[in-house]
């Protein structure tokens, strides 16, 4: 991995790491900025092809990703307190509870062994892969809204546990209020893994701090989702880091409040 651009105001990045990045250098390159008490940091992570596709032929992102992207995906999970995911992505991608693995285990010192997964749903349906508790992975929280209805909300509480359902909003989850609720549970470093509809709502909420995007060196054409979907919203981001690895470009961009 080779650094093409770096802004050392962000995180604990050191110019001494310019050159070929090992695991330690990569972890520094993606470190969170120091957060004052009460401040959360919401980072999103996506992959896109050169022509903007966020999924391959099979409708999943796994078919467009690259080895460097998989490394950063695992690293960003290890750095997060909580992973935010839309129920659509959790179903299509067969999400399971999160587990941190080597070489990133050392990054969890002083933290729970694995990050929590927060799944966002209007319907209140917990995706099947997330309902089963496992010893080797983190907790799951459902973030839903009133319109899910009492039956679905009770079912989710039975499956996940009484305290594991957050209701934030009436007919849709209000992302700003969901972010505040998760931060209030001691989970300030948030990693949104999509999908495109959740990312759109997060952008519109003004609570997105950072986008980590891998650009895979591939063209795929076809009718594929982009990394955002839904009603128009505009946010202008600033590039902070750009890394090249075997043709993939991996970057960090921050939103104007940062």
Ligand X SMILES: NC(=O)c1ccc[n+]([C@@H]2O[C@H](COP(=O)([O-])OP(=O)(O)OC[C@H]3O[C@@H](n4cnc5c(N)ncnc54)[C@H](OP(=O)(O)O)[C@@H]3O)[C@@H](O)[C@H]2O)c1
User: Which 132-171 residues touch ligand X, going by CB under 6 A?
Assistant: 145
Stretch that binds ligand X, among 8-16, 83-91, 106-114, 128-136 (CB under 6 A): 83-91
Min dist CB 11 to ligand X, Å, is 21
SS3 127: coil
- 228 binds ligand X, rule: CB under 6 A: no
Report how far apart, in Å, the C-alpha atoms of 128 and of each of 88, 112, 200 are: 12, 24, 24
Query: Of 35-43, 76-84, 121-129, 134-142, which part binds ligand X (CB under 6 A)?
Result: 121-129
Locate all alpha helices (DSSP H) within the chain, ordered by sequence. Answer: 23-29, 67-79, 87-92, 128-131, 150-160, 175-184, 196-205
The residue from 18, 28, 32, 125 that contacts ligand X (CB under 6 A) is 125
Nearer to ligand X, 17 or 77 (CB): 77
* Contact with ligand X (CB under 6 A) among 59, 94, 128, 161: 59
Is position 198 an interface residue for ligand X (rule: CB under 6 A)?
A: yes
Closest CA to 116 of 95, 102, 137: 137
Strand, coil or helix: what is 153?
helix
Count residues binding ligand X (CB under 6 A).
Answer: 31
User: Is 226 an interacting residue with respect to ligand X (CB under 6 A)?
Assistant: no
Among 197, 207, 240, 252, binds ligand X (CB under 6 A): 197
60 is an interface residue for ligand X by CB under 6 A: yes
**Smallest gap from residue 246 Cβ to ligand X (A):** 18
Cα gap 85→187, rounded to integer Å: 15
Rounded to an integer, what distance in angstroms lies between the CA atom of residue 188 and that of residue 66?
Answer: 29
Q: Is residue 87 part of the contact set for ligand X (CB under 6 A)? A: yes
Using DSSP's 3-state secondary structure scheme, residue 249 falls into strand
* Among positions 96, 122, 157, 185, the unique one binding ligand X when judged by CB under 6 A: 122
C-alpha to C-alpha distance for 79 and 31, rounded to whole angstroms: 7
Shortest distance in whole angstroms from residue 55 CB to ligand X: 4
Binding to ligand X by residue 195, rule CB under 6 A?
Answer: yes
Judged by CB under 6 A, the chain residues 172 through 191 that form the site for ligand X are 172-173
Phi, then psi, of 254 in degrees rounded to 5: -115, 155
State how far the Cα of 146 lies from the Cα of 29, in Å rounded to an integer.
40
Least distance CB 215 / ligand X (angstroms) = 11
Residues 28-57 that bind ligand X (CB under 6 A): 46-47, 54-55
Any bridge partners for residue 249, and if so which?
A: 215, 244
Q: Which of 166, 144, 167, 172 is nearest to 230 (CA)?
A: 172
Residues that bind ligand X in the complex, under the rule CB under 6 A: 46-47, 54-55, 59-61, 86-89, 92-93, 120-123, 125, 145, 172-173, 193-198, 201, 225, 227, 229
């Amino acid at each position: 991995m080779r650094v093409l651009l770096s802004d050392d105001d962000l995180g604990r990045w050191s110019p001494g790491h310019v050159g070929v990045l090992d695991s330690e250098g990569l972890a520094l390159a993606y470190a969170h900025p120091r957060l004052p008490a009460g401040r959360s940091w919401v980072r999103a992570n996506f992959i896109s092809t050169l022509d903007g596709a966020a999924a391959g032929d099979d409708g999943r992102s796994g078919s467009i990703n690259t080895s460097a992207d998989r490394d950063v995906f695992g690293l960003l999970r290890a750095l997060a307190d909580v992973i935010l995911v839309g129920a659509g992505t959790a179903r299509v991608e067969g999400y399971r509870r999160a587990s941190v693995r080597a070489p990133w285990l050392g990054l969890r010192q002083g933290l729970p062994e694995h990050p929590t997964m927060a799944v966002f749903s209007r319907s209140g349906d917990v995706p099947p892969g997330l309902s089963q508790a496992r010893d080797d992975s983190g907790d799951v929280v459902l973030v839903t809204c009133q319109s899910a209805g009492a039956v679905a909300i009770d079912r989710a509480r039975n499956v996940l546990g009484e305290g594991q359902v957050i209701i934030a909003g009436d007919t849709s989850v209000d992302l700003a209020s969901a972010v505040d609720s998760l931060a209030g549970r001691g989970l300030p470093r948030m990693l949104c893994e999509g999908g495109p509809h959740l990312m759109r709502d997060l952008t519109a909420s003004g609570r997105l701090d950072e986008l980590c995007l891998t650009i895979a060196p591939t063209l795929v054409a076809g009718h594929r989702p982009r990394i955002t979907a839904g009603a128009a919203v505009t946010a202008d981001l600033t590039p902070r880091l750009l890394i090249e690895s075997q043709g993939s470009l991996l970057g960090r961009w921050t939103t104007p409040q940062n």
